[in-house]
Structure 1
């Protein structure tokens, strides 16, 4: 049985769980600027928790392609007060922090966050894995080719799934040397991948079970949906639900989403079918 230890609470992942996204950035591709005051933030967190989110993933640095740089100081100024706000109002919330900086990770965990979600799997901060190991918290490692600024310029692989599996397996081995016990792997849909790459990964997602870690899937309202359907992120909920269903059928343990209620319904219905 796959499980992760979050602040002393064992979260079993034999039934997939939903991670709700809370972007406290002004420029995220879908919800940038929507949650910038205490009232709107707490209302959204309460809605996601009520709708069935097990985790809330808070990010203060937009990682969309060509997003502007944000200093460590600014990231902390955006993020840390929000973590305190949420945990004061909803103290039982399991907060994941979307950051690739070890300094931000350490301060966030000290405030009361439970998980570090790193889009670079340690590539953008050489101290990240050592820090996470010292903190003794779960670590979600995502595959990304390049950096947020460069990742979509010319994504190129010999074999996209094999290449990602190789890189993630090396990261898993490295994380183990830092005594990180609770690892989550994320193939990184849209992070240095073409649309074709993304669908190949989704089709072959079960191969990631060879890493012996829970697999997190984040396709919510991404361009792999709305570009194919020739719509917009705002109109991509139905497409998101379709791809989340396929991800669950192919072994996803965590769905990272903007729309928690619909993802929880996905999990319930796929479980009824017996996948």
Structure 2
């Protein structure tokens, strides 16, 4: 399902006739009895206007009750209040059953990441993985070229770029052939990397350092990008540096995000473009990371889209002792527990398993 925002020079009725013509052309041809149409186009809103005609009502009377409308709208106008509503798109979305989350596929272009470092060093395997991810139905591809594991060696800006470039070159050959593609996210805390990536593909910035750099904030603002701000106590992660054991996790995270939001918006980033990642495994003990997931619903009151990056993290060893690359089952278990929570994005390594599991979960839930 897609939501498209745009401008039209005619009237709503003119656009209705045009969309009906498009539907008719696309839906021609043989089809099974009672089978769904190949294309179904609805007019949802017309700015702040309301219209009532025999064959058209704007706003669409069921738009605010449909997850497949509100979920994609989150990435267009999360802070918009539709006509007649006292709640924003983000707030409305969280009122509905939320089994289907946006999936962000982790593409590590590093030789030294904990769980999958070195997996895509040769271009053939990288090309295969990128094509698989693009075709899978994930909402985001997150390209990361620098490991944030404990004691990781910091890269120079040029080293990071040389690791990113092959992936961007491959995507340049893949994405133009797609009528619908995932957003491309760059996992970097360097503003110069963002600016260079913007000349290729860049839809989202993922800042594990938490928007502490004025230069980074300026780059995000200049590029009009949405950005993920992650809570941390230092990059790369230091397992010896964590929040105090008696820390009240939720208030601490809320305070940090509100200060980050204030700093970023004063520098020119729109509030609607700032997503919050509470930083599972970064500056937290294993039990604190678990506590974040157990209390994630409380973070929704911040009014920001939430991303959870729990995939293969060491806190999962609280349940079973396993190496990082072997924690996919534990990760999926945590993800299933999060499906009915008010979060928007799951950032995971094994994206194929997550997509399949979510569809099965949703298929069963719909028939309850």
The normalised TM-score by structure 2 is: 0.68
Alpha carbons 2:300, 2:343 under 8 Å: kept: no
Alpha carbons 2:209, 2:230 under 8 Å: kept: yes
Q: Mark the CA change 1:205 to 1:266 in structure 2 (over 3 Å): closer, same or farther.
A: farther
Larger Rg: 2
Q: Counterpart in 1 of 2:199? A: 110
Return 5+ residue gaps in structure 2 as ranges: 1-69, 78-88, 94-99
Tell me, in whole angstroms, the C-alpha distance in 1 between the residues paired with 2:132 and 2:261: 34
- What are the equivalent positions in structure 2 for 1:189-204 lying under 5 Å apart? 189-204=280-295
Q: Does 1:130 align with 2:218?
A: yes
Q: In the alignment, which of 234, 237, 240 is matched to residue 153 of structure 1?
A: 240
Q: Which moved more, 1:56-65 or 1:225-234?
A: 225-234
SS of the counterpart of 1:155? Answer: coil
Tell me, in whole angstroms, the C-alpha distance in 2 between the residues paired with 1:253 and 1:155: 26
Q: Does 1:80 align with 2:80?
A: no
Q: Mark the CA change 1:149 to 1:205 in structure 2 (over 3 Å): closer, same or farther.
A: closer
Q: In the alignment, which of 131, 143, 148 is matched to residue 231 of structure 2?
A: 143
1:191-226: CA deviation from partner (whole Å, max 9, x where unpaired): 111001001100100111112111111111111113
Tell me, in whole angstroms, the C-alpha distance in 2 between the residues paired with 1:126 and 1:67: 24
Structure ranking higher in strand proportion: 1
Q: Which moved more, 1:74-83 or 1:55-64?
A: 74-83
Q: Counterpart in 1 of 2:331? A: 240
Q: Mark the CA change 1:201 to 1:22 in structure 2 (over 3 Å): closer, same or farther.
A: same
Please report how far the alpha carbon of residue 227 of structure 1 lies from its aligned counterpart in structure 2 after TM superposition: 5.2
Q: Mark the CA change 1:169 to 1:16 in structure 2 (over 3 Å): closer, same or farther.
A: same
Alpha carbons 1:16, 1:253 under 8 Å: kept: yes
Alpha carbons 1:5, 1:138 under 8 Å: kept: no
Please report how far the alpha carbon of residue 69 of structure 1 lies from its aligned counterpart in structure 2 after TM superposition: 1.1
Q: In the alignment, which of 197, 205, 209 is matched to residue 120 of structure 1?
A: 209
Alpha carbons 1:185, 1:216 under 8 Å: kept: yes
Alpha carbons 2:144, 2:187 under 8 Å: kept: yes
Q: Does 1:4 align with 2:4?
A: no
SS of the counterpart of 1:39? Answer: helix
Q: Mark the CA change 1:266 to 1:252 in structure 2 (over 3 Å): closer, same or farther.
A: farther
Q: Counterpart in 2 of 1:259? A: 350
Superposition CA RMSD, Å: 2.2
Please report how far the alpha carbon of residue 135 of structure 1 lies from its aligned counterpart in structure 2 after TM superposition: 0.4
Q: Mark the CA change 1:228 to 1:260 in structure 2 (over 3 Å): closer, same or farther.
A: same
Q: Counterpart in 1 of 2:273? A: 182
Please report how far the alpha carbon of residue 270 of structure 1 lies from its aligned counterpart in structure 2 after TM superposition: 4.5
Q: Does 1:26 align with 2:97?
A: no
Count of aligned pairs between the two proteins: 268
Tell me, in whole angstroms, the C-alpha distance in 2 between the residues paired with 1:93 and 1:187: 23
Tell me, in whole angstroms, the C-alpha distance in 2 between the residues paired with 1:234 and 1:179: 36
Tell me, in whole angstroms, the C-alpha distance in 1 between the residues paired with 2:317 and 2:263: 36
Q: In the alignment, which of 221, 225, 231 is matched to residue 312 of structure 2?
A: 221
Alpha carbons 1:66, 1:149 under 8 Å: kept: yes
1:48-73: CA deviation from partner (whole Å, max 9, x where unpaired): 23332111000000011111111111
Q: Counterpart in 1 of 2:50? A: none
Tell me, in whole angstroms, the C-alpha distance in 1 between the residues paired with 2:350 and 2:129: 11
Alpha carbons 1:119, 1:141 under 8 Å: kept: yes
